[in-house]
Amino acid sequence: MMARTPDIEKAVEVLRTGGLVALPTETVYGLGANAEDPVAVARIFRVKGRPPSHPLIVHIGGAEHLDDWVQEVPATARLLAEHFWPGPLTLVLRRGRRVPLEATGGLETVAVRVPDHPVAQALLSAFGGGVTAPSANRFGSVSPTTADHVRAELGDAVDFVLDGGSCEVGVESTIVDATGDIPSILRPGGVTREDLEAVLKCPITVPSTSQVRVPGQHPSHYAPRARVVLVEPEKVVAEAELAQELGHQVGVFLPPSLTDASVKVHAVVALPASTAAYARGLYGFLRELDQRGCDLIIVSLPTEEGLGLAIANRLRRAAGPRPTV
């Protein structure tokens, strides 16, 4: 779906005057600012409630602009950019001078990606510069995959929302540290580990899911209001019904093998059979269960292959301990 040209012109004007534009990408909606405007970049952190040490991704119009934003492009990074851009892959490289430290959380590296969405492409080409954009949600909560999600969550805090329909991929980009000779995955996402390995012709490491928890930090992220509890696949129905009996308003993600089961809980999401459709729907399903008044969501992890790796990563984070307020 193409945004009308006047919308793109308006969005460019907002970016040029230091404002914030919500923009569709193929993964999730981003909250964008002119990457070279430290004041506008600082506003992103305020609106999201995000700690300033958490670096942002710089979105650019094409791989041909990469050298403008980073100091050097190792051969492996060039190879990955050629294969996967435009697309849901973010490369972490050494920061070029053009990128203010405000955007990188003070780091000497910068994350860069070329989104594969006609509206994002139209915006980036009309704007000419880079657009820093985190996902357009409050810090720690579920990422938006429609313009309505953005409006509901951020309202007037955004100066302009570009509506590009529902996001095709539905989970964020895969982040690859490409600063050295041996790349590694920092966050699984829309480009699968298998796709990366096929191009690199070698295995690539993924962060362990049982990372050490630093005291005082809360790993909860991508989280709905309802508490998320992970259970073994064969226990989904029994655990959900038990929690409902104990007085919870339970929402459950029901795997396709169980779709016919009549589960006695408050709300049921029948999961689609393909992992691509699951990824596309994931954040919408979590939002839906919140809206339907669930206080507990029971779910099992998918097999960690293909997009299942990113889905499992988001569900684990959503189920992580919440900050105590």
Sign of CA dihedral 159, 163, 166, 169: negative
Contacted by 186, from ligand TXA, Mg ion, none: CB < 5 to 8 Å by type: ligand TXA
Q: What is the rounded CA–CA span in Å between residue 199 and residue 158? A: 38
Q: What is the rounded CA–CA span in Å between residue 305 and residue 88? A: 17
| H or E stretch covering 227 | strand 227-230
In the complex, what is the shortest distance from the CB of residue 34 to ligand TXA, in angstroms, rounded to a whole number?
15
Does the footprint of ligand TXA cover residue 172 (CB under 6 A)?
A: yes
- 159-to-13, 14, 144, 256 alpha-carbon distances in Å: 11, 7, 17, 41
Q: Is 42 exposed, middle or buried (0-12, 13-18, 19+ CB in 10 A)?
A: middle
Does the footprint of ligand TXA cover residue 175 (CB under 6 A)?
A: yes
Binding range to Mg ion, per CB under 5 A, among 90-98, 114-122, 131-139, 240-248 = 131-139
Q: Quick one: which of 319, 261, 272, 241 has its CA closest to 251? A: 241
**Contacts (CB under 6 A) with ligand TXA, residues 23-62:** 25, 27-28, 30, 54-57
The residue (of 117 and 248) whose beta carbon lies closer to ligand TXA is 117
Does the footprint of Mg ion cover residue 90 (CB under 5 A)?
A: no
Binding range to ligand TXA, per CB under 6 A, among 86-94, 191-199, 251-259, 273-281 = 86-94
Strand pairing class (227-230; 296-299): parallel
Structural contact between residues 134 and 57, judged by C-beta atoms closer than 8 angstroms? yes
Q: What is the rounded CA–CA span in Å between residue 147 and residue 196? A: 30
Does the footprint of Mg ion cover residue 109 (CB under 5 A)?
A: no
The residue (of 151 and 221) whose beta carbon lies closer to Mg ion is 221
The residue (of 24 and 255) whose beta carbon lies closer to ligand TXA is 24
Does the footprint of ligand TXA cover residue 231 (CB under 6 A)?
A: no
The residue (of 266 and 287) whose beta carbon lies closer to Mg ion is 287
Binding range to ligand TXA, per CB under 6 A, among 133-141, 254-262, 272-280, 308-316 = 133-141
The only residue of 34, 76, 90, 244 in contact with ligand TXA, by rule CB under 6 A: 90
- Number of H helices and E strands in the chain, helices first, is 10, 13
Q: What is the rounded CA–CA span in Å between residue 133 and residue 215? A: 29
The only residue of 92, 124, 176, 297 in contact with ligand TXA, by rule CB under 6 A: 92
Residues that bind ligand TXA (CB under 6 A): 25, 27-28, 30, 54-57, 88, 90, 92, 104, 107, 109-111, 115, 133-135, 172-173, 175, 186-187
